[in-house]
Structure 1
Amino acid sequence: MSGSGKVVCVTGASGYVASWLVNLLLQHHYTVRATVRDISDPKKVAHLKELQGSKERLHLFQADLNEDGSFDSAVDGCEGVFHAASPVFFSATDPQAELIEPAVNGTLNVLRSCRKASSVKRVVLTSSTAAVMVNKNPPNPDVILDETCFSDPVFCKEKELWYPLSKTLAEEAAWKFVEENGIDLVVMIPGLVFGPLLQPTLNFTSEIILNLLKEGREAFPVHSLIDVRDVARAHILALENFSASGRYLLVGTVISTSEVLEILAKLYPPLNHLGLDIIAEKLIDVGDLLSNQVSQEKVKRLGISFTPFEVSLKDTVESLKEKNFLSF
């Protein structure tokens, strides 16, 4: 990877995945235009300003997913655009306003800015396995899920699964827009993302581990997981590899809560007193599809090798301790 002389944009740069993406881009000598909702909020920007290379090659822009034209200045002059900004939470008082509109309209706003900018050669969109795995009639668990699979928005709405609905509709809108406007789009589809935090605040997946360790709650049954550093690398490879196209599932492992607990107990013997081995698993209402294996064939052709989950999990816990979210 070499980004010398190349200018790219990362939307939602203060987020978990996006922060790592900015970090890796700077390490590889890209000039990065990073958008955040509030440029004056130190929780959003302080950690980005501390990254190696930030003084020379990081430029911060304020932008809002719901504001038309908000991304124009950040995108103009960029060769590549990474659209990672999207709300990530699973319950909402007003799901339309809090999740769906920012996800869908925000994606279209960024793509409109890309359409205006003749410099943009490729857009890399961050989706989610939530846009792949949620269906009324899931396939047999023996079926391997791949990039041709999409979640059913009607079923998502019926079950009030607002986050999967937001990611599914955002990706649908993106594919329709780029087809009509001739934009080169590649979509990255990570599972639950684990690994160390760069940002000072908890993100959804690190909170899962924190709650599991501290209170034995919010355990996931079986899920597809990937290291945050692998996700960032895959995004950059998707930009740099001329032959990259379509969708890429990013799943390093499929694992159950009981297996996660076994690994934690092995890594951290002091945790045994918490009774981790008898914590009841809570099912997430996204159907039995979570037990399916996920194809790694296409993303491996892109050049990704996966970080072992044990490493990701240990690094997550150590990061939570370092940032004083956890002590034992």
Structure 2
Amino acid sequence: MNGGCKVCVTGGSGYIGSWLIKKLLAKGHTVHATLRDLKNESKVELLKKLPQSEDKLVLFEADIYNPKDFHPAIQGCQFVFHVATPLIHQPSASSSSQYEDTVEASIEGYRSIALSCLRSGTVKRLIYTASVVAASPLKQDGSGFKDQIDETCWTPLNHSCEYLYLEPFYKDYTYSKTLTEKHALSHGNDENGGGLEVVTLACGLVGGDTLQSFTPSSGAVFIAQIMQNEKAYTSLKFLQELLGKIPLVHIDDVCEAHIFCMESTSISGRFLCASSYISLQEMANLYALHYPEFNVKQEYEDGLKKDIKWASTKLCDRGFVYRYDAKMILDDCIKCARRMGDL
């Protein structure tokens, strides 16, 4: 791998995808990146201006609503990072097949990409960018939270978490990421897996800087307590309601974790990815302490949730090291927001 290998990144112009591609190119790898629309000049330019892109980056047009599009991008690759995910149910006019919702589109998209990996004859490992919204420590019977959150936790989709029903997006996204990750792991373990190693990285709320020309949605969520942005703040409340506290992770750590899973000799299964696990009150306290110039929204601790422990060590047990703690993540979110003119 020292001489570089050929990899595919779906959702290449997204927040995580673009940062991951930058790091892969810097390590000497050839990257096949997919975008929904190659005629979108701003997204194409974002990737083409990356260092080493001229010789090492190949762009492909592929739409999750027409998942066979991904097959050419995957051919000849050794590793595939499936980062793309349908956030809003918006099938394109050119899609040959229409799905009922984002859940169906996400699962069918993953299934087709996994099949392309198997058919390629070259792909060794498929790494799926999952989400901690699929790993809630809520008990299945709805009687409260477990004592800790780790890889054994799965969000009970029959739970009546009030925030799941405030906006259709929360429910759709939670169902989509939970059911797709379960499908990915079951596919990787069954007899039809064909030797393909499947890794799912369930990432926390991702913050830090961005290569994009706008503040990513997760970045807006990070600074919601400062901006008094009710929509973004509701997302924070949703995460705490679902997960007990809020798992945080820096964009750089997220991408390094993906590359770590690629560079490992052999690895498969589910890994939670977050360096900090804090409450809304703890986040507000950090802002108030280090950024007294802002009017931070006051928070009150919920005693029912504060004792839940982050017990996921699987990634670190394999040798991965997080570089960013909660304060460093918040600091970089503030710097990014200031650069973007949000603050």
Q: TM-score range by the shorter chain?
A: 0.7 to 0.9
1:108-148 alpha-carbon deviations (Å, 9 max, x no partner): 12112112100101111111111111554368756222212
Q: 1:156 to 1:56 in 2, by over 3 A?
A: farther
1:128 is aligned to 2:134:
no
CA distance in 2, matches of 1:239, 1:166: 24
Residue of structure 2 in register with 1:323 after alignment: 340
Residue of structure 2 in register with 1:223 after alignment: 246
Question: Could you say what secondary structure the match of 2:68 adopts?
Answer: coil
Q: 1:81 to 1:310 in 2, by over 3 A?
A: same
Of the three residues 318, 322, 339, the one matched with 1:302 is 318
CA distance in 2, matches of 1:156, 1:101: 22
Residue of structure 2 in register with 1:206 after alignment: 219
Question: Could you say what secondary structure the match of 2:152 adopts?
Answer: coil
Match runs of 1:39-188 below 5 Å: 39-88=38-87, 97-133=100-136, 135-137=139-141, 143-155=147-159, 160=165, 161-178=171-188, 179=190, 180-182=192-194, 183-188=196-201
CA distance in 2, matches of 1:155, 1:116: 38
Question: Unpaired runs of 5+ in structure 1?
Answer: none
What is the Cα deviation at residue 289 of structure 1?
6.9
CA distance in 1, matches of 2:297, 2:220: 20
CA distance in 1, matches of 2:282, 2:80: 37
Which piece of structure 1 moves more, 160-169 or 9-18? Answer: 160-169
What is the Cα deviation at residue 188 of structure 1?
0.8
Residue of structure 1 in register with 2:96 after alignment: none
C-alpha contact 1:43 1:199 (8 A) present in aligned 2: no
What is the Cα deviation at residue 46 of structure 1?
2.2
Kindly provide the amino acid, as one letter, of the partner of residue 43 in structure 1. Answer: S
Q: 1:185 to 1:262 in 2, by over 3 A?
A: same
C-alpha contact 2:284 2:298 (8 A) present in aligned 1: no
C-alpha contact 1:43 1:201 (8 A) present in aligned 2: no
CA distance in 2, matches of 1:186, 1:293: 24
Q: TM-score, normalised by structure 1?
A: 0.86
| Segments of 4+ moved more than 4 angstroms | 138-142, 156-160, 288-291
CA distance in 1, matches of 2:143, 2:126: 31
Kindly provide the amino acid, as one letter, of the partner of residue 302 in structure 1. Answer: R
C-alpha contact 1:11 1:18 (8 A) present in aligned 2: yes
Residue of structure 1 in register with 2:13 after alignment: 14
Q: 1:135 to 1:38 in 2, by over 3 A?
A: farther
What is the Cα deviation at residue 215 of structure 1?
2.1
Match runs of 1:184-195 below 5 Å: 184-195=197-208
CA distance in 2, matches of 1:81, 1:242: 15
Over the aligned positions, Cα root-mean-square deviation in angstroms equals 2.8
1:314 is aligned to 2:331:
yes
Q: 1:93 to 1:245 in 2, by over 3 A?
A: closer
1:232-287 alpha-carbon deviations (Å, 9 max, x no partner): 1111111111232211111211111222222223333321xx2x153679x9xxxx
- Percent of aligned pairs sharing the same letter: 30
Q: 1:290 to 1:58 in 2, by over 3 A?
A: farther
CA distance in 1, matches of 2:283, 2:126: 35
Which piece of structure 1 moves more, 6-15 or 174-183? Answer: 174-183
Kindly provide the amino acid, as one letter, of the partner of residue 79 in structure 1. Answer: Q
Kindly provide the amino acid, as one letter, of the partner of residue 210 in structure 2. Answer: L
Q: 1:56 to 1:150 in 2, by over 3 A?
A: same
In the alignment of these two chains, the number of paired residues is 314
Residue of structure 2 in register with 1:238 after alignment: 261
CA distance in 2, matches of 1:227, 1:291: 24
Q: 1:291 to 1:163 in 2, by over 3 A?
A: farther
C-alpha contact 1:192 1:223 (8 A) present in aligned 2: yes
CA distance in 2, matches of 1:279, 1:147: 29
1:162-193 alpha-carbon deviations (Å, 9 max, x no partner): 21110111112223333223221111111111
